Chains A and B, each alone.
Chain A
Amino acid sequence: MNEFVERRVELTWRKPKRAYDVVIVGGGGHGLATAYYLATRHGITNVAVIEKKYIGAGNSGRNTTIIRSNYGIPEAVSFYQRSLELYQQLEAETGRWMMHQRKGLLWIAHTEAGVRAERARAEVNTAFGARTEFVTPREIGEICPRIDLTGGGVWPVLGASYHVDGATARHDRVVWALAEGAMRHGVDIHQRLAVTGLLREGERVVGVETDQGPIAAGLVLSATGGHVTTLATQAGVRLPIRTHPLQAFVTNHYELAFDQIVASSNLLFYVSQTARGEMLIGAEIDRQPSYSDRSGYHFLQNCSFRAMTLLPFLRNLRILRQWTGICDMSPDYSPVMGQTGVDGFYVTTGWGTWGFKAIPAGGEQMAELIATGRTPALIAPFALDRFAKDRTMADRGSAGTH
């Protein structure tokens, strides 16, 4: 990766103005990407991104950095495929190395039902532009020799879908590159500025109240993770979101010899290796709705046991650290993007188990919606009014794990 000469990230901090055309609440990947694409694609630069802590402090800094488009329904495959392609160009476009690396993702099936699901996934993916194929246990053994094909004698490997374009990127670098790109075009980013409420004029949302005074806005976009319901309630918008904690952990360093991303629906975990050599392991959400980001030992016990069933070499490693983020879960496991029915208030939420992979496409499409006032076809199926219209985008494969 020597084509990138590393320069310091150039971030220019300015004082908050009293009014902006667009105010984006939440300085994570989705908020910053929306600002970035508003500035670079549509020339809308009178934009502020307001972040309570520091940019990337929330789920953009807690996710497991996986980029993939092997979803289970056509609408999702098209959307995430767009995101995957944007990620592939993002380093060249921003001039920033994001440690983007194509790895290939094996989604293992251990039951006949699982095999049918993975075959279906491969078919839907292929039909809508994502590169996924079904592979047999023998091929799995060739792709990733460290997998115990007997599954510890309990969960035998019967097959897998192999998503060739599955990739990872360094999450902090994505956040910084987007922030830098947006700032260079004149977007204001304010850290340590907490939005405490919304300003309303009749039904319309006309700005935000912050702990440093009100800021007027032509349009407010909520790109917050976790606390979106609280914000939306102030606009009088009801959301189909439940907030659940999600935990993950890394082990100590291991030789750089684990090239793929491996996931298992039955064992409910997924694993990849970071550039430092740590094995990065995540699982499903905690079952109780909660805003707490405390981690627990029970999760470690459970998840590491399941991971070792499939990857016995993990048993010699030690757990280095664990963390928790809070996820916005929608009833159909698909995101909720776009208008809310309240003038001047837009949301991008429901990113389930963290939404890192959707950052570029989510930002690009939301920027187009804000700039043109028309919902782009790619995200139209994910509008909030789909629930009232009985057009839910049920995709269990979407946010079940990572």
Chain B
Amino acid sequence: MNISIPCPHCGPRPIQEFIHGEIPVVPDSITDEEERDLDRAFMRENREGVITERWFHTFGCRRWLTLKRDTKQ
């Protein structure tokens, strides 16, 4: 699929110019500090629906942006 990412500095640009950055979501139900570290390192929410993620515009303005995207589309 051809995705374009709306960069606030450069306008909509093809996804190939960006590097994907995840925001780990650790559920509040995990309280133990070590378990939270483990979850942050490996486990993923992998949600079907709208997620918040970061993208770095490598071949452009070289700045990070935050994006909300629906993974079902």
- A115 contacts the other chain (Cβ, under 8 Å)? no
The 8 Å CB contact of B3, one of A229, A288, A324, A387, is A288
B46/A295 in contact, CB under 8 A: no
Shortest Cβ distance from A293 into B: residue: B1
Whether B42 pairs with A292 at a CB distance below 8 angstroms is no
Q: For the complex, what is the distance from the CA of A387 to the CA of B3, rounded to whole Å?
A: 33
Cβ of A89 under 8 Å from chain B? no
Q: Contact between A240 and B43 (Cβ–Cβ < 8 Å)?
A: yes
B43 / chain A contacts, CB cutoff of 8 Å: 238-240, 387
Taking a contact as CB atoms closer than 8 A, the residue among A230, A290, A298, A387 that contacts B14 in the complex is: A298
What does DSSP make chain A's interface, helix, strand, loop or mixed?
loop
- A245 → chain B closest CB, angstroms: 7
B38: chain A residues within 8 A (beta carbon): 387-388
- Name the interface size band of chain A: 20 to 34
Q: Do A289 and B71 have beta carbons less than 8 Å apart?
A: yes
Against A, the Cβ 8 Å flags (1 = close, 0 = not) of B37-73 are 0110111111110010100000000000000010111
Whether A229 touches B44, Cβ cut-off 8 Å, given contacts A238-B39, A287-B20, A295-B1, is yes
Q: How far is the CA of A372 from the CA of B73 in the complex (A)?
A: 42
Q: A243 near B: Cβ within 8 Å?
A: yes
Tell me whether A298 and B16 are in contact (CB under 8 A).
yes
By secondary structure, the B interface counts as loop
Closest to B44 in A: A242
Number of cross-chain contacts by CB at 8 Å? 60
Is the pair A243, B2 in contact by a Cβ cutoff of 8 Å?
no
CA distance A245 to B27 in the complex (A): 26
Instruction: Chain B residues near A388: list those with CB within 8 A.
Output: 38
Contact B42 A331 (CB under 8 A): yes
C-alpha gap A378/B15 in the complex (Å): 40
The distance from the CB of B34 to the nearest CB of chain A, in whole angstroms, is 9
Q: What separation, in Å, do the CA atoms of A230 and B38 have in the docked complex?
A: 20
CB neighbors of B among A226-245 (8 A): 227, 229-230, 238-243, 245
Neighbouring A residues of B48 by C-beta, 8 Å: 227, 229-230, 291
A242 and B15 form a contact (CB under 8 A): no
Q: How far is the CA of A294 from the CA of B71 in the complex (A)?
A: 12
Pairwise interchain contact A294-B46, C-beta atoms closer than 8 A: no
How many angstroms from the CA of A218 to the CA of B46 in the assembled complex?
28
Q: Contacts A295-B1, A387-B38 given: A288-B15 contact, CB under 8 Å?
A: yes
Contact B72 A296 (CB under 8 A): no
Are A240 and B42 neighbours in the complex by a CB distance under 8 Å?
A: yes
Residues from chain B with a CB closer than 8 A to the CB of A296 are 1-2
Q: In whole angstroms, how far apart are the Cα atoms of A288 and B17 in the complex?
A: 12
State whether B71 touches A290 (Cβ < 8 A).
Answer: yes
Task: Tell me the smallest distance from the CB of B42 to a CB of chain A, in Å.
Answer: 4
A295-B2 Cα distance, complex, nearest whole Å: 8
A337, chain B: closest CB distance, angstroms: 16
Q: How far is B3's CA from A296's CA once the two chains are assembled, in angstroms?
A: 9
Are A239 and B1 in contact, with the CB atoms below 8 A? no
Chain B residues closer than 8 Å to A287, beta-carbon distance? 15, 20
Chain B neighbourhood of A324, CB < 8 A: 1
- Minimum Cβ distance to chain B for residue A208 (Å): 18
Closest to A237 in B: B43
A residues in contact with B15, CB < 8 Å? 287-288
Closest to A289 in B: B71
A286 within 8 A of B: yes
Bound-state CA distance A287–B15 (Å) is 9
Q: Are B46 and A292 in contact (CB under 8 A)?
A: no
In the bound complex, what is the Cα–Cα distance between A321 and B1 (angstroms)? Answer: 14
Interface residue ranges of B1-35 to A (CB < 8 Å): 1-3, 14-16, 20, 27
Bound form: Cα–Cα A296–B73 in Å? 13
Chain A contacts of B46 at CB under 8 A? 229, 239, 241-243, 289
Q: Can you give 11 contacting A-B residue pairs, CB < 8 Å?
A: A227-B48, A229-B44, A230-B48, A289-B51, A290-B1, A290-B73, A291-B71, A291-B72, A292-B71, A296-B2, A387-B38
User: What 6 new A-B contacts, CB under 8 Å, besides A242-B44, A294-B1, A296-B2?
Assistant: A238-B43, A245-B1, A297-B2, A298-B14, A387-B38, A387-B41
The 4 closest A-B pairs by CB, nearest first: A229-B46, A238-B43, A240-B42, A296-B1
